[in-house]
Structure 1
């Protein structure tokens, strides 16, 4: 109870895959939260390290072991389906939350029913003040980024504000929004498997009239699996292909034909550079286009449902599309 009012409930969901180095610290940061967490659910995507053994030794944690790797999207959809909480915290295993993280985000979300998602200030290195994400931004060429990524924190992002969307590394989603955004029973599109599914959700949320907010006082540290010190060649080609082609999936599903034409010069400029890079440096990436073309009918069907349910004006959505590069 909070002043005679029942507190909203929240469950925390973590999808793991060979996360033995991070998972215990991540869960401990959840157990240390000032805001009570109804359930902590870990979906393990067939790890072959000690992840499962570690999780089984931790009290108050529900573990679901998948026999195959369902990806980030599939794993989190599993957890969401089993949860009845008012809010869902989607959390990467390499994130450590400070004690008030959840409380601060829920406080802001409770003040405005239009807020469907929220994030705090994520650091890549909290000691050095190196930022990882203060929410998602998107450019006119349809590339999306973590706002502030790699910058030194000088207080430039300390104002609370609405943003295009939130990174799936440490995002709180309102369950009502999750239910509203589901297409074919999926919140995260499982065609994405890994990377950019949070961008797709953010764009869909904007179209359907939900707002996202950044709360600077909520602090976390994100180790980031695809870090600056990790070379692209160390990332499995399957994952790189998903990351590459998923951008085209979220464009096909969510974009406005009018604004696509209006902003075509910057899109074409980026496409020329992007395809040239792929041809010269990573030609194996281009095999992802086979997947894209086979899934066009499915994506068009999803697009039709999303666009039919659109509630926010096109101008309001595209105010977040800033900059050429």
Structure 2
């Protein structure tokens, strides 16, 4: 008899007191029970730690809920890597604390991935917590300008009822195959910890594609995403976060954009887009200029990571040539 697929849930919290209990309640009421729920707190100051510890004790779940309170903020990428290393299941659900899962979320996503072994990551139908009829995300898309975006964001949820292949999955509620996690990690890291936070899921999606993995949107799995800053516009996002988002876009391009004939016609477009952004930054958001010393300083590191991915891709192609699709 085939061994039943197992899944763990990894949550990184940072001042998540308002959301974490509802998130945990939904996780622990999945029809496919998680083998382990790993929570990494990034030095919260709002009582998140006390809420998680009390919840685990009250429910008698200390053996399932594995909680670590960091004394420093390791970022989303570092925190998730820290959590993933504590799992040994076939699948890992990377989950934001402001997401409330439908009871069948894990079962539906894992079931699809079990039937399609070439699939490395899956996301379900994420709708806005403030309006359940409106989509938050159906996964990640990529524009010609190499700008990643949330597919279906702001669109009617009723129009997103069909399965589809996507560029990648949002880190808000992403189910990853453990074999893929191990296969695409660089220097022992699944999420690149140089990103700290933001666009690390885009980097993973692109890297996974280059190494032969597929990603799908599975609408039979659903969840509510109670995100706040997205509705407030850029001015509601702290400068610290905007800097990471901006520099991480460059890191992602440096590491993943293929060198091909297509790049020749793409370069003028990218140059125009980035020059326009730079003019806007100088005039409206000069604080972002502080990202450039970091981008230049990390250039050798990013180029080395690019080489490692290309080496893995070459090894994969050689393996397929020798062994075929077996």
Cα deviation for residue 308 of structure 1 reads: 1.7
Partner residue in 2 for 1:95: 99
Residue matched to 1:298: 301
C-alpha distance in 2 between matches for 1:273 and 1:153: 33
Q: Does the aligned pair in 2 maintain the 1:94–1:225 contact within 8 Å?
A: no
Aligned twin of 2:15: 18
Aligned length: 308
Using the alignment, how far apart are the partners of 2:264 and 2:53 within structure 1?
Answer: 53
Selected match of 2:251 from 249, 255, 260: 249
Aligned to 1:323: none
Q: Please give the per-residue CA displacement for 1:207-237, whole angstroms capped at 9, x wherever unaligned.
A: 0000001101111011124321x34333322
Partner of 2:278: 275
* Residue in structure 2 matching 1:179, options 156, 178, 182: 182
Match in the other structure for 2:170? 167
CA distances 1:1-59 after superposition (whole Å, capped 9, x unpaired): xxx43211111000000000000000000011100110011100000011001000122
The separation in 2 between residues aligned to 1:198 and 1:192, in whole angstroms, is: 10
Aligned-residue offset at 1:107: 0.6
1:79 partner SS: helix
CA distance in structure 1 between the partners assigned to 2:130 and 2:14 by the alignment: 25
Q: Tell me the CA shift for residue 108 of structure 1.
A: 0.5
2:74 to 66, 70, 84: 70
Q: Which residue of 2 aligns with 1:212?
A: 215
SS in 2 for 1:267: helix
State the TM-score, normalized to the length of structure 1.
Answer: 0.92
Q: Which runs of 5+ in 2 are unaligned?
A: 318-326
Deviation at 1:180, TM superposition (A): 0.4
The 3 A distance-change label for structure 1 pair 43 and 128 is: closer
TM-score, normalization by structure 2: 0.91
Indicate if the aligned counterparts of 1:39 and 1:62 stay in contact, CA closer than 8 A. Answer: yes
